[in-house]
C-alpha cells in the first residue's frame, strides 16, 4: 500500500481543480497546469481535496498510484508558489547577465554563450555570479537549470564552473612532487 498515494492533496484557497476523464486541470494565481494519469488510477475531486486511488492491486497500478499523487501535488505547488532553482558561478572572469529572453554567459570560452530561455521559465541574475531559474513546471525548471550548468560544470581541482546553490563539489589534490 502506497504511503504517499494514500494522502489526499489539499487545494489551498484560490486554487481550483477539475477532472475530465483521466486528465486533471489545476488553476491558480500563477497559471494553469494539467496532468493526464494512466488508466491504472482514478482521480477524484471532493471540494478542496484531490484523491488518487488505484484501479486494482497490480504492481503497475500501485506504482502509478504514488507517482500520480505526487504529480498532482506538484501541479498544486506550481500554480501557488512555483518552483525555483539557484545556481552559483565560481571562477575568475566567469559571469552571467540576463537580457530579456537571453542569458549571456561569460565562462572562459573564446566566445560568449547566449542561452535562449524557453517560454514558461524566468531566468534572473541578482548578481553577476548568481542565476535564478523560476517557473510553474518543476520538470522544465530543473531541465533549464541543468542545461545552464552543462555549459561549464564544476571541475574537481579548482572548483570552477556553475553549480547548484548548496551543492558540494568533492575536491581533488593536484600533482605532487
What are the chain's domains? 3-80 (3.90.930.12), 83-164 (3.90.930.12)
Question: What's the confidence (pLDDT) of residue 35?
Answer: 93
Q: pLDDT tens digits for 91-134? A: 999 999 999 899 999 999 999 999 999 999 999 999 999 999 99
Question: What's the confidence (pLDDT) of residue 1?
Answer: 67
Residue-wise burial string across 124-138, b where 16 or more C-beta atoms lie within 10 A, e elsewhere: ebeeeeebbbbbbbb
Question: What's the confidence (pLDDT) of residue 4?
Answer: 87
pTM: 0.87
Question: What's the confidence (pLDDT) of residue 30?
Answer: 92
Amino acid at each position: 500500500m502506497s504511503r504517499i498515494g494514500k494522502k489526499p492533496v489539499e487545494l489551498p484557497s484560490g486554487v481550483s481543480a477539475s477532472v475530465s476523464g483521466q486528465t486533471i486541470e489545476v488553476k491558480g494565481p500563477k497559471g494553469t497546469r494539467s496532468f493526464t494519469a494512466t488508466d491504472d488510477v482514478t482521480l477524484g475531486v471532493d471540494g478542496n481535496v484531490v484523491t488518487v486511488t488505484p484501479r486494482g492491486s497490480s504492481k503497475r497500478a500501485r506504482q502509478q498510484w504514488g507517482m500520480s499523487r505526487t504529480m498532482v501535488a506538484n501541479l498544486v505547488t506550481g500554480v501557488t508558489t512555483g518552483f525555483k532553482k539557484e545556481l552559483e558561478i565560481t571562477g575568475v572572469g566567469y559571469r552571467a547577465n540576463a537580457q530579456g529572453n537571453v542569458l549571456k554567459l561569460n565562462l572562459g570560452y573564446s566566445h560568449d554563450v547566449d542561452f535562449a530561455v524557453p517560454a514558461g521559465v524566468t531566468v534572473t541574475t541578482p548578481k553577476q555570479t548568481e542565476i535564478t531559474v523560476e517557473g510553474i513546471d518543476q520538470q522544465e525548471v530543473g531541465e533549464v537549470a541543468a542545461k545552464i550548468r552543462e555549459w561549464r560544470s564544476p571541475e574537481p581541482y579548482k572548483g570552477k564552473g556553475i553549480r547548484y546553490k548548496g551543492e558540494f563539489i568533492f575536491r581533488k589534490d593536484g600533482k605532487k612532487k
